[in-house]
A and B are shown apart, each in its own frame.
Chain A
């Protein structure tokens, strides 16, 4: 990845009748970047992807790919290729013919053509199945064919519309890793549309979280997860406790807050954030807190509580802890390491936390 901008999306708005699918979306995507558009269904992420592919044009705004204005340019003249959600494998053609489909326009000689098809099939590990018909291969294999068919065109940008949503969990996890490797190997900009936060977190260089036709936050996965800017983003990605807090004082980069049930803390202020009024919402990830067992000690801040419910996930257990003066229990997750016993409902515990556990939300 380098710093050259390959895609510029400049105040793009798309209206369908009175419904605004995209509302002044602006974002710049770098060459070689793995960029994800993440959001619930209806947030506009697929609409934005289709604007890049050329299946739809914005009502207003501009899209530039590699410096070229794209609005009005039909899909067949854009330097992008797409992997469709259902893969759209041509049912009347073999795997090989599917992969070679787009090469006809390039008028390559027979040898070069064959070499490129073979190379593309080898890259996705499908070389042995080239003669199969599309109804004779599995879902995972269809996805590989769709990838090979798009990558053989050597696009500047590869667009992926929920490419893993049709696969079962195990295969999905495997393909996440493979897709990431593939992207590094070919060095092409990938733009992935997904509603699966885990998928976005594991695969992306950067994520744009979208709600209601707008980008709510655009950042690296760690920052999106650890420093969500709003309650909507925090809620959509991972689990989060929401706590009311009063602002005691505010300086350039810290705010001192009094968090309900937990007490006073100085928390880091996100860059460029403004907090109006005297109160705010604090978010706290379950794994950023801990339960203090009898044998452990030395936590600088603890608050007493009672286990309400324990949810066992195998590697983790999520505890809902009732804390006096809070109307809702907070959720704390604990890794089930050796020697740590499971807690039952009704047990008294201490919740250990620190100011780094807390994220102020706009």
Chain B
């Protein structure tokens, strides 16, 4: 029998602390009672059924998806440009620029939200899903660059030269060599930035105006005790979706790194 080591116990407690609270969400979402407390009363899928007919929730979900699709696309395109510049070229002030681009990773979200609010209002924008999308792009770009850098860093320039040498022009080289090799990285960036936008609350709260995104809708529902089980059901679904998306993203990123010919690196997740 394996010896129980102190570090093993620590790791177990750590994981329990992280995930046990999250596990309550799906458990209570199937509980046949409006009161969130043990003991469980029975199993029901009523709360999930309620979601199905909740128009306000579906409107918020639709808003969130629009924002998430738009911001992940734009952030990934910007991320491709940024990651390529940072991994391929040398230019003056590179370290400083890289630090500034990555700064939103550590900047408190509330600061980003307030400053964006002030700037957008000063510029005369009205608050809408568009302003939320702008905020989410700002927050997503550093993540996109972090993910894409690892697949671009291993990209060997001589592969493109070899393709040219074998008679293919620049466009064919891009589609036959460059894109297939970095595609998993791009997909991974899209999935991660999509997830970030879908979950984001603070920036959306400040910038969304009259069209709530899903997290804001959930927050507003918490005021009504009777609606709480619905929120738990919704939360469980979101949890599942986020988990699936991020898993796919990480698998893609690893594939990108392997394809680019580099060894296994630490990775983003």
Contact = CB atoms under 8 A, between A and B. Distances in A.
Interface of A: 53-55, 74-77, 80-82, 84-86, 88, 90-92, 101-102, 104-106, 135, 149-150, 153
A79 to B, nearest CB: 10
B165 A76 contact: yes
Nearest to B169: A76
Given A90-B177, A91-B181, A91-B260, A84 B167 contact: no
A101 B163 contact: yes
B222 interface: no
Interface residues of B, number: 20
Contacts of A149: 162, 166
A109 B52 CA distance: 56
Interface string B147-161: 000000000101101
Interface of B: 156, 158-159, 161-169, 176-177, 180-181, 258-261
Nearest to A93: B180
Contact of A135 (B161, B162, B166, B258): B258
SS class, residues of chain B in contact with chain A? helix
A84 B258 contact: no
A85 B162 CA distance: 11
A153 B166 CA distance: 7
- Residue in B167, B176, B177 whose Cβ sees the most chain A Cβ within 10 Å: B167
A85 B180 CA distance: 23
A75 B181 contact: no
20 contacts: A53-B161, A54-B164, A55-B164, A75-B161, A75-B165, A76-B167, A81-B166, A82-B162, A84-B161, A86-B156, A86-B158, A91-B258, A91-B259, A101-B166, A104-B168, A106-B167, A135-B258, A149-B162, A149-B166, A153-B166
Contacts of B163: 90, 101
A54 B165 CA distance: 8
Contacts of B169: 74, 76
A54 B170 CA distance: 13
Contacts of A92: 180-181, 259
Q: Would you list the 6 A-B pairs with minimal beta carbon distance, nearest first? A: A102-B166, A88-B162, A88-B158, A75-B164, A105-B167, A92-B180
A84 B162 contact: yes
A102 B181 contact: no
Contacts of B260: 91
B178 to A, nearest CB: 11
B261 to A, nearest CB: 5
Nearest to B179: A92
